[in-house]
Amino acid sequence: MQSSLSLSLSPHTSLTIPRPNQSSFATSAKPINLRFCGLRREALGDFSPLLTRRLHLNSITARRHSAADLVVSASLSGGNGSPPKSFDYDLLIIGAGVGGHGAALHAVEKGLKTGIIEGDVVGGTCVNRGCVPSKALLAVSGRMRELQSEHHLKALGLQVSAAGYDRQGVADHANNLASKIRNNLTNSMKAIGVDILTGVGTILGPQKVKVGSDKVVTAQNIIIATGSVPFVPKGIEVDGKTVITSDHALKLESVPDWIAIVGSGYIGLEFSDVYTALGSEVTFIEALDQLMPGFDPEIGKLAQRVLINPRKIDYHTGVFATKITPAKDGKPVIIELIDAKTKEPKDTLEVDAALIATGRAPFTQGLGLENVNVATQRGFVPVDERMRVIDANGNLVPHLFCIGDANGKMMLAHAASAQGISVVEQVTGRDHVLNHLSIPAACFTHPEISMVGLTEPQAREKAEKEGFEVSIAKTSFKANTKALAENEGEGLAKLIYRPDSGEILGVHIFGLHAADLIHEASNAIALGTRIQDIKLAVHAHPTLSEVLDELFKSAKVKAQVASPVSEPVAV
Amino acid sequence: MAHLLNTSFIPSSSSSSSPTLRPRNPTILIQTRRPPTRIVAKIREIFMPALSSTMTEGKIVSWMKSEGDKLSKGESVVVVESDKADMDVETFYDGYLAAIMVEEGGVAPVGSAIALLAESQAEIADAKSKAASSSAETTNSAAENVGPTVVAAAAPPQVKEAASLSLSLSTHPASEGGKRVVASPYAKKLAKELKVELGRVVGSGPSGRVVAKDVEAAAAAAVSVGPTAAEAASVAAKSVGVELGTVVPFTTMQGAVSRNMVESLAVPTFRVGYTFTTDALDALYKKIKSKGVTMTALLAKATALALAKHPVVNSSCRDGKSFTYNSSINIAVAVAMDGGLITPVLQDADKVDIYSLSRKWKELVDKARAKQLQPQEYNTGTFTLSNLGMFGVDRFDAILPPGTGAIMAVGASQPTVVATKDGRIGMKNQMQVNVTADHRVIYGADLASFLQTLANIIEDPKDLTF
């Protein structure tokens, strides 16, 4: 109800304004939106000033509706505004994954009449075949690990008899979680009046989309949010039983004795955590020379020391799996490896199962991009920094945006959502460019890995180019009271910063609850908070957040405190 | 950067009231020092840095450089784990990492040399020889250090030898005739840890893959050989692993055992079991253990005293037509020996006092080990005791040796919850025995009353000591 109240305002202010062109729309809409944002809180607390302002706004926009009309129409359309004359929707999103969902919610909040097209199940990869069910499995693996670690339990004075698990029970937990979140997601959109259109969405032309086989809908703006599917390199035959992708693995239909995981990125690492906790042995196959490429090298090294070396895991690096044959006729899964550089055959592995975690490929086929003259690059939809789709000639395609895995900028669920929100901000008249360096990422192993911003080599490269100095600060979880109380002192937090300005370039954490700890750093980056300011902020003691407190305090910034945090207030 | 070392870890700055001592700067520069001997001026020692005020020793997590690598000032060389954190340690000088003196996983006290840094490549060899000589002195360095002969270090060569004797190769189809070994990741890790050569382990996993338990079994087999060899050097040569897939003829002793066992099938035997409460016996044993009395001697004595009251149980049937009532009570006790079994005999066990009996027993066992038992010392038994209680066996069944009337199989004495006659539940040590007897001469009632007598003696053992 709260949202529909605040939302009823916007359609009449922004969307019914005649728009001869984009620029005039932007200039006219901007101040209105700003005032609207300021109004929101008041709207919830005190209704009468809102009404008067509404009338005022209406007069500004020269609407014929009276205030009463306005309220009625708002309640009838469930807060989704009255239909525009020329388009079926203000915003149409193709793909109801986390990115599309985030965009839809924000669009409704901004008063846009929003439709979302889903050809499969609501929730997309993250909810159904990704982050969500994997967290359920990882929750199980974390507990199994604790219960199996006699040494650790003994140090805490605990005694537990042999821990065991029921595979189907674990699988059900993951499945139940996915359907629960899927329902939550669906209901959250339905509740605020987002139209969920079932069927495959195909772009027919500018502002026109076909849903399913015959239905055609039009929209002022369209967001492509079709996401991605597991990438399976050539030569690998996926049978879904013994050679699997994350889609199959999350169903946990079996726990093989020995599983090879091709790729040691986030997905591979998380699954290695799950499988080893459930008793499997794991062999990593990594094409690059080092495990865990993409992580800060120092974090990767420590993570290898904790997550790989002591576990029942071995690895082959610098090799490609050129051919993987599923198990059949009593033969095991056969994996042929070649040297990544010389391309010479190197080894053959026989294992019980292979998980292909070589990344994800954009799911953009059959989207009708050719109808708007857009050529994908390796399947990705080319976009500018505002997620506006670029056509084959390098020109922007008006009213067409692409977010999430489909554009490949940053293949993370929350990044897709943030991009979607950014697009909605733009189409409702507020220019917005998402700072991808402020988007945190996390790998939910035990312990977790998280990061935001640049890695040390990236920062050094940038510093070289732009001519500034880079400093590094590190703190260990071994010095944190809470971590030691949990007997989980293994861990490191690393801060990469500019000593001249105190700007945070990157933060990397490996340790207990790292994924939850990163947000202090990512928020600081997003808001531009400098170290000299944030180091004065207070953290509760004893908490893991003190690891970051220590980290900021150990940084040596030459610049003085730019501005006092706030005026001292006596309490 | 050099000033950062130690200064931030000085106790005053680390505010002892705070539970979190903070390592302010995690990159530590190695301080090198000139060798006190000044043999070669350009070789510097890299020593274990003090990473915190409370640190007394550090563990080498990993060497980031290997011997012979060129180092430049400020480069990370080694990761050291202190009581608080893992830290990369950097070198303060340019040069070559000439010799690593403390291997990964090794622990060194703060200030002790962990590696040598040579200024030029030419000096690497000098440094190496220096490291070799000094590593013998610094025995406190790494556990894996070659210098000190640690007890544990004696086992691995044994393991290797024993493992190499088991020639069977992995039968994995992809092993290409043994050239390639298919082993699971954990099996590989274990093999490295336990120093087991994977190529010689027989795989029991899918398609003959070597899995962890195969490696464990291989290591255990090799280790179980180890102590025997250490115990008696004279038999070390014989106590090697079993050659799988081969046929080995019986030794003389094994041949004798085999003949006797087959012969025993001609005797109609039956069995009677009994459970003794041994609290009193255990208490007695505890009391007189210091005087050299063994449990075997106590049991032999008790059995002999019971036999004295039941001469029929001490009899035997030689020809199938008559009883032979033996004049003396000679208790034979089965002893497992390397590659066989022998039954030294405690003669006149009913008459000899418990202390003499214990001494006699010890003498017999020593002789048996040295294979010096005289025939009358092992073949004059009239009643046999076989005890597997020390292995935790609670009951078993023995085969009657030909020429005797009965054999008693003794299980372990274990605390047992029992209902007592006064209707309470109590905890008592109980031991199960099972007597196998020749039914031609010894009948069920004979054994039963013999066991009842024995039970009385064991449960009230005051007579055992006279």
According to the model, what pLDDT value does residue A562 have? 53
Q: Residue A537: pLDDT above 70?
A: yes
Report the C-alpha dihedral over residues A23, A24, A30, A36, rounded to 10 degrees. -130
Task: Quickly tell me which residue has 């301080």 as its tokens.
Answer: B31
The DSSP secondary-structure symbol of B170 reads P
Q: For chain B, what is the mean pLDDT? A: 75
Side chain identity, residue A551: L
**Could you report the per-residue pLDDT of B139-192, keeping only the tens digit for each?**
443 333 333 333 333 334 444 443 333 334 444 444 454 557 788 998 888 888
CA distance B300 to B293: 12
Contact B96, B46 (CB under 8 A): no
- Residue A120: alpha-carbon gap to chain centroid: 20
Which of B17, B181, B184 to probe the A interface (max A CBs under 10 A)?
B184
**Could you report the per-residue pLDDT of A376-388, keeping only the tens digit for each?**
999 999 999 999 9
Find, in chain B, the residue whose alpha carbon is nearest to that of A478.
B84
User: Among A89-103, A528-542, B217-231, which is the least confidently predicted range?
Assistant: B217-231
Work out the average pLDDT over A495-523. Answer: 96
Q: Residue B138: pLDDT above 60?
A: no
Helix%, strand%, coil% for chain A, nearest 5 = 40, 25, 40
Q: B369 versus A440: which is more confidently predicted?
A: A440
CA distance B195 to B191: 5
According to the model, what pLDDT value does residue A460 have? 96
**Could you report the per-residue pLDDT of B434-443, keeping only the tens digit for each?**
999 999 999 9
Side chain identity, residue B159: V
pLDDT-based confidence at residue B113 (cuts at 50, 70, 90): confident
The DSSP secondary-structure symbol of A306 reads I
Report the C-alpha dihedral over residues B11, B61, A138, A508, rounded to 10 degrees. 60
Q: Residue B222: pLDDT above 70?
A: no
Give the 3-state DSSP-derived string for A522-567, with helices as H, strands as E and coil as C. HHHHHHCCCHHHHCCCCCCCCCCCHHHHHHHHHCCCCCCCCCCCCC
CA distance A108 to A85: 18
Q: A491 versus B170: which is more confidently predicted?
A: A491
ipTM score of the complex? 0.71
Contact B58, B80 (CB under 8 A): yes
Asked if omega into A447 is within 30° of 0 (cis), the reply is: yes
Q: Residue A250: pLDDT above 50?
A: yes
* CB within 8 Å: A302 and B85: no
Task: Quickly tell me which residue has 């009391």 as its tokens.
Answer: B287
Residues sharing a CB contact under 8 Å with residue A369, sequence separation 6 or more, in sequence order: A203, A375, A376, A381
Contact B118, B96 (CB under 8 A): yes
CA distance B304 to A69: 114
SS3 A176: helix
Work out the average pLDDT over A26-48. Answer: 39
Which of B15, B20, B27 to probe the A interface (max A CBs under 10 A)?
B20
Distance from CA of A280 to the nearest CA of B (A): 9
Distance from CA of A398 to the nearest CA of B (A): 52
In our burial notation (b when 16+ CB lie closer than 10 A, e otherwise), range B279-290 reads bbbbebbeebee
Distance from CA of A550 to the nearest CA of B (A): 8
According to the model, what pLDDT value does residue B294 have? 86
Q: Residue B251: pLDDT above 80?
A: no
Residue numbers in B near A332 (CB within 8 A):
206-207
A541 is annotated as an active-site residue: yes
Sign of the alpha-carbon dihedral angle for B261, B267, B272, B275: negative
CA distance A464 to A175: 48
Contact B357, B365 (CB under 8 A): no
pLDDT-based confidence at residue A226 (cuts at 50, 70, 90): very high
The DSSP secondary-structure symbol of B445 reads H
Residue numbers in B near A470 (CB within 8 A):
none
Distance from CA of A348 to the nearest CA of B (A): 9
Query: Of the segments A57-66, A105-114, A303-312, which one has the largest average pLDDT value?
Result: A105-114
Query: Of the segments A27-41, A373-387, B12-26, B143-157, which one has the largest average pLDDT value?
Result: A373-387
Residues sharing a CB contact under 8 Å with residue B102, sequence separation 6 or more, in sequence order: B48, B60, B108, B114, B115, B141, B142, B145
Which of A474, A552, A556 to probe the B interface (max B CBs under 10 A)?
A474
Q: A73 versus A416: which is more confidently predicted?
A: A416
Residue numbers in A near B187 (CB within 8 A):
281
pLDDT-based confidence at residue A545 (cuts at 50, 70, 90): very high
CA distance B445 to A108: 97
Q: Out of B88, B174, B187, name the one closest to residue A350 (CB).
A: B174
* CB within 8 Å: A314 and B25: no
Work out the average pLDDT over A289-313. Answer: 90
CA distance B286 to B303: 19
User: How do B331-333 and B383-387 pair as beta strands?
Assistant: parallel
Helix%, strand%, coil% for chain B, nearest 5 = 35, 20, 40
> Percent of chain A scored above 70 by pLDDT?
83
Work out the average pLDDT over A535-551. Answer: 94
CA distance A374 to A397: 8
According to the model, what pLDDT value does residue A154 have? 86
0.80 surpassed by pTM: no
CA distance A406 to A229: 10
Residues sharing a CB contact under 8 Å with residue A515, sequence separation 6 or more, in sequence order: A442, A443, A444, A448, A449, A450
Find, in chain A, the residue whose alpha carbon is nearest to that of B188.
A314
Work out the average pLDDT over A152-169. Answer: 86
* CB within 8 Å: A305 and B189: no
Work out the average pLDDT over B434-459. Answer: 93
Q: Out of A305, A314, A352, name the one closest to residue B61 (CB).
A: A305
According to the model, what pLDDT value does residue B82 have? 65
Side chain identity, residue B140: N
Q: Residue B67: pLDDT above 90?
A: no
pLDDT-based confidence at residue B289 (cuts at 50, 70, 90): confident
Q: Residue B133: pLDDT above 60?
A: yes
Residue numbers in B near A473 (CB within 8 A):
25-26
Q: Out of B26, B174, B205, name the one closest to residue A474 (CB).
A: B26
According to the model, what pLDDT value does residue B230 have? 39
According to the model, what pLDDT value does residue B150 have? 35
Q: Out of B21, B61, B182, name the one closest to residue A479 (CB).
A: B21
CA distance A240 to A242: 6
A259 touches chain B (CB under 8 A): no
Judged on CB neighbours under 10 Å (0-12, 13-18, 19+), B95 is buried
Pick from B78, B28, B20, B74: nearest CA to B51: B28
Side chain identity, residue A329: D
Residue numbers in A near B206 (CB within 8 A):
257, 332, 352
Q: For chain A, what is the mean pLDDT? A: 85
Q: Out of A283, A305, A476, name the one closest to residue B185 (CB).
A: A283
Query: Of the segments A31-40, A43-52, A478-487, B315-324, which one has the largest average pLDDT value?
Result: A478-487
